[in-house]
Amino acid sequence: MNDFLTTSIADMRAHPSDIRTVALAGRLMPDTSVEPLLQVIQTVLGLGKAVIIEEKTAQHFNLTQYASVELRDIGMAADVMIAVGGDGTMLGVARRVAPYQIPLVGINQGHLGFITDIALQDAPSALREILHERQFDAEFRDLLHGEIIRNGEVIHSGTALNDVVVGRSGLEGMLELNVNVDGQFMYSQRADSLIIATPTGSTAYSLAANGPILHPQLAGITLAPVAPQSLSNRPIVLPNSCVIDIEIVSAKSAVVHFDVHSFAQAQSGDIVRIVQAPYQSIFWHPKSYNYFATLRQKLNWQLNPARPQ
């Protein structure tokens, strides 16, 4: 699919002429109450929209009274998808539906809520604004695609909205890595792990490793080492158009994580190749959404008393 066609499809999905069917997915944990999900379902139905439930969510909460569909088919069945849970729920859903360019709305039932930006108590008014009045801002978020290459063959691949992490396996010592960017040698790295993060992921694990915060609309990829041997080693931001090849040099095994949702083992001589994915996630935000307000709230930034709240 050429870039023009991909952009056209994404723009049509980001700004549909009508919103008729809404898909919902929930947090699939044993301690999760179904009540918040039911509240959101009733709000959507009250706005005159059809509801379908992601299949695993329907099974987990025994929601047999509603139509259900597999996550891979939601792109054909719904105009927008709502994730009710925490950032982990949103990550899992976003990564899997991104190829189908279905927009996502995040309602926070978790703790942090960087990308599930609508508080549960605000869901009725926010969903009316988005689904009924069609007043929202569409935002496109980059994803990463990674492959583990062994003897010239791809043995595993994955996609990440937050980050790809190449880390040591178990209690073994530091990893030794060679990093090449667009075919040029950048550096040899000895560290516990190396985080390759999108702007979305810059406020996740990368931030804990002293990586920079990147605005979601920046076209960049952050490389942040965790506990590097050299104290002068610092994170670096690269263009999102580059190809990053990470060679496992040490004899120790490594593990490669994709958003911590999927992982694979790697060994000495393997290449972990990371590029920007050929599609983006589409987020719908209420008009009241403010990225900097999210940072202030979630990171406990202190405001200047002279500044308005």
As a whole number, the mean pLDDT across the chain is 91
Q: Indicate which CATH number applies to the domain containing 43.
A: 3.40.50.10330
Place of tokens 């891979």: 72
Q: Give the separation between CA 275 and CA 181, rounded to whole angstroms.
A: 10
Same domain, 219 and 273: yes
Please state, as a whole number, how many other Cβ atoms lie within 10 Å of the Cβ of residue 81.
27
Domain annotation covers residue 282: no
Q: What is the pLDDT of residues 248-307, one digit of tens each?
A: 998 778 999 999 888 899 999 999 999 999 999 999 999 999 999 989 888 888 666 556
Same domain, 175 and 116: no
Same domain, 115 and 155: no
More confident residue, 175 or 230: 175
238: domain range? 144-277
User: Could you tell me the two tokens for 241?
Assistant: 């158009």
Antiparallel, parallel or unpaired: β 193-197 and 163-168? antiparallel
Domain annotation covers residue 308: no
Of 87, 117, 163, 270, which one is the catalytic site residue? 87
Same domain, 113 and 164: no
Please state, as a whole number, how many other Cβ atoms lie within 10 Å of the Cβ of residue 167.
17
Domain annotation covers residue 9: yes
Q: What is the pLDDT of residues 24-74, one digit of tens each?
A: 999 999 989 999 999 999 999 999 999 999 999 999 999 999 999 998 899
Q: What is the pLDDT of residues 102-145, one digit of tens each?
A: 999 999 986 767 899 999 999 999 999 999 999 999 999 999 99
Instruction: Tell me the whole-structure pTM to 2 decimals.
Output: 0.91
Same domain, 168 and 109: no
Q: Indicate which CATH number applies to the domain containing 169.
A: 2.60.200.30
Domain annotation covers residue 65: yes
Domain annotation covers residue 122: yes
Q: Note the pLDDT of residue 14.
A: 73
Q: Note the pLDDT of residue 125.
A: 97
Q: Give the separation between CA 285 and CA 189, rounded to whole angstroms.
A: 39
User: Could you tell me the two tokens for 249?
Assistant: 């040099």
Q: Note the pLDDT of residue 208.
A: 93
Same domain, 66 and 159: no
Q: Note the pLDDT of residue 71.
A: 87
Same domain, 149 and 114: no
Domain annotation covers residue 23: yes
Q: Note the pLDDT of residue 8.
A: 58
Q: Note the pLDDT of residue 1.
A: 47
**44 burial level (CB within 10 Å; 0-12, 13-18, 19+):** buried
Same domain, 31 and 129: yes
Same domain, 107 and 190: no
Same domain, 151 and 272: yes
Q: Is the pLDDT of residue 10 over 50?
A: yes
Please give the tally of structural domains in the chain.
Answer: 2
87 is catalytic: yes
Domain annotation covers residue 189: yes
Q: Note the pLDDT of residue 9.
A: 62
Domain annotation covers residue 304: no
